[in-house]
Structure 1
Amino acid sequence: SESFTADHKPLLGEAPEVRGFYLGCGFNSAGCGKELAHWIIHGRPEKDMYGYDIRRFHHSITNNSRWLRERSHESYAKNYSVVFPFDEPLAGRNMRKDPLYQVLQEQGCVFQERHGWERPGWFNTDTSAPILDYDYYGAYEITKNKDYKYNELLGKEYTFDFPPHHGTIRDECLACRCSVAVFNMSYFGKFYLMGPDAKKAADWLFTADINKAPGDTYYLAVGGAVAQHNWSHIQTVLQDQGFDCTMADHSEDMGMISIQGPRSRELLQEIVDADLSNEAFPFSTHKIITAAGHKVRAMRLSFVGELGWELHIPKESCVPVYQAVMSAGAKYGVRNAGYRAIDSLSIEKGYRHWHADLRPDDTPLEAGLAFTCKMKTSIPFLGREALESQKATGLHRRIVCFTIDERVPMFGLEAIYCNGVPVGHLRRAEFGYAIDKTIGYGYIRKPDGGVVTPEYIRSGEFSLERMGVVYKARAHLKSPFDPDNKRVKGIYSTE
């Protein structure tokens, strides 16, 4: 007999519910034993095992027998299917829906599933595409779903070329770059870290210097797909270090919308009671404000590289605040946008995605994120010694941005060559609509194992191999889009 799990991958690692209890199940082959042994002894595996880590599943779905049954059935049914880049499951859907789910579905939202949550993928302008109950592909005398619009749209994505709605995603991206777009990010995990040792814990847990805003409570907004993993990791560190503080999970109590683009300030200024100028509300700050008569936490942040704010909103206020934003934004050409647009916009700006550009076996220095680490202070933090050691010896591996001029899509895992010799592979690739090029990010090593210097990257001749065809590539040490980081500061060229 064979074992099948809900996502066709093994279940390994420490159980979130019981410290010291490790699992190694859900698969029928060897090779994981060595990593699991290392995990048990050292508290973490040596290699990147995140895709197998049992903490990838949120506790609300591991306790849900319907979700487990449906998803495990579909993973078996699709065992030998070709894995296309943007496939989504039909099983175990509509398990976790945020307050804006219905209003977005009515506007043609095509949803993605991420660990139980339905999050916006992209917006189909023709018609809505509701997700129906799982039909077990017609097995067990269950009537197969007919005229299933969502399934039809997925089927059209079964290509290794650009998808048929490439232009729709482009329109969402360019609305964000040229005017204003609204992203529903309500699936994010929203945690509070509080207690007498909260500051001590934050100092140890986070590489960034949090002393600019000392306090005894910290609000953490975490990507929904990694919320369970983050929660478990933080709880483990609190316990191991003996910090006197607690975590509270308010993920289901709040929604979150992100309003981004050069017109975002004008739009928001019409519905909020706060001054949104650079002086009054600088980048990377937050305030409790009133939006359309509702109290919200506004953060001036961007994951797409534009002027913009995130609004973290109590559940019951989400729909009225969203409707006020869309109403005020009509004259600016506001547009709904989804995560497919975020994937493109973020790679264009050079922002990192967890487990694509950044994995547990990468360091912030290799990932070009040294600026997020408080190395200039004397404050100890988890991982500091490893970073100091790596800084002293130099980087033998480094993330690099690549662009190609040919109009072909790439999806990640394409080989990277330097002067004709393989030096790595792309972790992530998307089409960048503002620069009108395919963009990829990958870590490279020198063939001789030496330090990867900026000069080595500047002087090399790079190429990328997609499905046996090699394309000339240009390596960039900085993002090819807005390398001076002006747009998030609200500085837009008038040229």
Structure 2
Amino acid sequence: MAAQPKVVVIGAGIVGCALSDELTERGWTDVTVLEQGPLFATGGSSSHAPGLVFQASPSKTMTEFASYTVQKYTDLTLDGQWCFQQVGGLEVATTPERLAEIERRHGWLTSWGVSSRLLTPEEAVAVHPLVDQEQILGAFHIPSDGLAKALRAGEAQARRAMERGARFLPHHTVTGIESSGDRVTGVVTDQGTFGADIVVSCAGFWGPRIGEMAGVSVPLVPLAHQYVKTSPLAALAGQNTEALEASRPILRHQDRDLYFREHVDRIGIGSYAHRPMPIRVDDVEHPRDSVDQPSKLAFTEEDFAAAWADCKQLLPALAEAKVEEGFNGIFSFTTDGMPLMGEAPSLKGFWVAEAVWVTHSAGVARAMAEWLIEGTPRTDVHECDLNRFEEHQLAPSYVQQRSCQNFVEVYDILHPLQPAEAPRQLRLSPFHDRQRELGAVFLEASGWERPHWYEANKDLPEVEGVPGRGEWASRYWSPIAGAEALVTRERVAMYDMTALKRLEVTGPGALNFLQYLTTNQLDKPVGTVVYTLLLEETGGVRSDLTIARLGEERFQIGANGPLDLDWLTRHLPDDGSVQVRDITAGTCCIGVWGPLARELVQPLTDTDFSHKGFGYFKAKHAYLGDVPVTAMRLSYVGELGWEIYTTADQGTKLWDTLWEAGQSLGVIAAGRSAFNSLRLEKGYRSWGTDMTAEHNPYEAGIGFAVRMQKGDFLGREALEGIDPENVSRRLVPLLLEDGEAVVMGKEPVFVDGEPAGYVTSAAYGYTLGRSIAYAWLPRAAAVAGTTVQVGYFGDRLSATVAEEPLFDPKMTRIRR
């Protein structure tokens, strides 16, 4: 590819305009933006978006996107007119549950470095006098939030891009995507064909249609969302000018799925308090055929009736007003509420930036520009990556149902462990029937039904000694989980590990391929297992893997998800010397862990499972009874034991064989809740939660998995200048003083009263009898003995930085 690639951006909405600005600012000026409608009111979602920019989110990434949008648009003008009004944001609570929720949201922003404050009802009304003080219990104020003028911001960025050489072509309808082999070569329109090295679809809710032309699934659903403007209010008379439009904070009444903004002397109201209204893209008019905006559908007054009553209750000044105009505006929703970003898996050079609201538009555009030009975005985007989905998550019925549910839940109070209600029963391990017989309580992840604890264990004597916890942390938890953790430490337990993604890499080039992509030494004898990392070129931790060498040219990888498969596939050599395939569906795994694990498995096999005969981080093929297995001596819970794999058809037999053999030893089935507690006691990291591509291995405490002396590997150059002992931040364990205080993750951590970091994973350590929270802290504070505080629902919980591992530091329990 030439140093100055030809880039074609499809769509001149806010995202396409922002991306063209970010690309040209970085020196990529051969940019053509194709738009099917006029410039710049193109007819898409940007044309009618109310422009509210709220930064609070449980996602650090989404908050960073929104914060950059605030920063960029605040400094942006168009012909002397503002593009962003920093009027602030106000979220009100009318229920005790919402009052607690805004405390949690305040904690998120503190964690992510955005200033905010909690207000009393009196203070809230002082900020927004239209709010009825009697209706609210408190509020949450974010001074830097505000209103973006989407069309102005888009045009202002487009003009800058055009000054640098970009061109914007209206009334060009895309009719096809050209390619040669597996690479994009151009975009076909009704006005001609445009050659391209890179194509980026920023088509908004038309994105699935563009994706279909490229053979790429773009899993989003266009949904209609109601927005109205009231008649003039006497209470707003003289408060705002036509030029400024608004002066009071944008307002969210999430208990009733409503938001509000000023339009001079009127109030604009957006409502999610109605049935989901999915729209077929084929039913949306082309901009040339629409008398108004094709994304603005007829207002359905009956859907707004209940919301209007709620509006007048919160804002009594509306009693004198009426709904003067309204429409149902189309926006893009995804199954998990996150954008779709990245390069298509099957067509090189074809990228998407879809399902992006004005709130996050500049941040997404910056990340996309960095990704395209530098090879990786500086913000971690794994939650947004187009390739994050499993195959079943691309089914049209799944996308429709989950996206509609996302609409319903957009303002709901959601627990971190709360599973989707439907569709369920999508992926079942071979042990599922046995688990149901044991009273498994299932939560869902990536479609898998995963036991979190078993009601069959409710009579274990260990249950009585498990301490209680607060109301929030008690949800989706049972003291039975604590008993399961203790029994694992005392006897032996069986864990279903089937949901772990398993990849097989084979071929004469497999070793060299994996040696280059990972950080640890893999050139070891057959039967060796290695913990290693995938890095970005920047040295950030893209994933962590366990890789077992099962043959000279065959490796089995324990991966974190579809993004790992995508990464490996993209780096395959062209000569066909390496093959990668996902073997998860055809296999299953049981973790057998605890001090009696060897007593359980050894009588079932002639293979030597002794410590000397079957060392730690080794793998063997064996038979357990009649079942052929691959056993790997690994332990994510810090106890003696094995991950035992077999084919899916043998899964039930494997479970029954182990279960029957373990009865005399007091074996139990144990779930994910116990598993998470045990792994935190050992300090084992969870990629995507504890560490991401934003962190290097030394910061994350996994520098032991890097072998700089092994030769070249992806990301090595970025690590060469880093002193492992002098990194600026570290991931460290905290021990909370309050025995019943269990935090959930993403809470702010304070040092000397000032926010300094945030919690990643947390759990109660039943063996230690202490509550554990792992957190990112600056180097000066990441020292054992440092006293900190964790912000939790408005409280500050005292904690101390501890040495790790917290449990069995000499590894005597694993290596015996």
Q: Above 0.5 in TM-score? A: yes
Name 1:125's counterpart in structure 2: 456
Displacement after TM superposition at 1:432 (Å): 1.1
- TM-aligned CA distance change 1:79 to 1:117, over 3 Å: same
Displacement after TM superposition at 1:2 (Å): 2.1
- TM-aligned CA distance change 1:116 to 1:158, over 3 Å: farther
Instruction: Give TM-score, length-normalised by structure 2.
Output: 0.53
- Deviation sequence 1:177-214 (CA, Å, 0-9, x none): 11111011112222211122111111111211112226
- Deviation sequence 1:142-174 (CA, Å, 0-9, x none): xxxxxxxxxxxxxxx995142475311101111
Decide whether the 8 Å contact of 1:295 with 1:313 is kept in 2. yes
- The CA distance in 2 between the partners of 1:459 and 1:435, in whole Å, is 17
AA partner of residue 182 (structure 1): M
Name 2:653's counterpart in structure 1: 320
Of 252, 255, 266 in structure 1, the residue corresponding to residue 585 of structure 2 is 252
Aligned ranges 1:6-405 → 2 under 5 Å: 6-29=335-358, 30=361, 31-62=363-394, 64-125=395-456, 159-163=471-475, 165-213=477-525, 215-223=552-560, 226=561, 228-239=562-573, 244-375=577-708, 377-391=709-723, 394-405=726-737
Q: CA-atom RMSD, angstroms? A: 2.1
Query: Are residues 1:472 and 2:798 paired?
Result: yes
Displacement after TM superposition at 1:329 (Å): 0.8
- The CA distance in 2 between the partners of 1:251 and 1:269, in whole Å, is 26
- TM-aligned CA distance change 1:66 to 1:122, over 3 Å: farther
- Deviation sequence 1:450-491 (CA, Å, 0-9, x none): xx269x61363322221221122111131221122221112x
Decide whether the 8 Å contact of 2:426 with 2:447 is kept in 1. yes
Of 465, 482, 488 in structure 1, the residue corresponding to residue 808 of structure 2 is 482
Displaced runs of 4 or more, over 6 A: none
AA partner of residue 217 (structure 1): R
- The CA distance in 1 between the partners of 2:653 and 2:791, in whole Å, is 49
AA partner of residue 65 (structure 1): P
AA partner of residue 473 (structure 1): A
- TM-aligned CA distance change 1:60 to 1:213, over 3 Å: farther
AA partner of residue 402 (structure 1): L
Displacement after TM superposition at 1:126 (Å): 9.0
Larger Rg: 2
Displacement after TM superposition at 1:346 (Å): 0.7
- TM-aligned CA distance change 1:164 to 1:185, over 3 Å: closer
Per the alignment, in what secondary structure is the counterpart of residue 199 of structure 1? Answer: helix
- TM-aligned CA distance change 1:100 to 1:161, over 3 Å: closer
- The CA distance in 2 between the partners of 1:261 and 1:485, in whole Å, is 13
AA partner of residue 190 (structure 1): R
Aligned ranges 1:431-446 → 2 under 5 Å: 431-445=764-778
Decide whether the 8 Å contact of 1:84 with 1:159 is kept in 2. no
Displacement after TM superposition at 1:333 (Å): 1.4
Structure 2 alignment gaps of length 5 or more: 1-329, 459-468, 527-551
Decide whether the 8 Å contact of 1:305 with 1:345 is kept in 2. yes
- TM-aligned CA distance change 1:164 to 1:199, over 3 Å: closer
- The CA distance in 2 between the partners of 1:19 and 1:486, in whole Å, is 49
- TM-aligned CA distance change 1:40 to 1:415, over 3 Å: same
Instruction: Give TM-score, length-normalised by structure 1.
Output: 0.86
- Deviation sequence 1:205-251 (CA, Å, 0-9, x none): 1211112226222111224xx2x111001111225x87731112221
- The CA distance in 1 between the partners of 2:507 and 2:476, in whole Å, is 51
AA partner of residue 382 (structure 1): L
- The CA distance in 2 between the partners of 1:373 and 1:388, in whole Å, is 11
AA partner of residue 315 (structure 1): A
Identity level (%): 29
AA partner of residue 384 (structure 1): R
Decide whether the 8 Å contact of 1:365 with 1:387 is kept in 2. no
- Deviation sequence 1:124-148 (CA, Å, 0-9, x none): 3399xxxxxxxxxxxxxxxxxxxxx
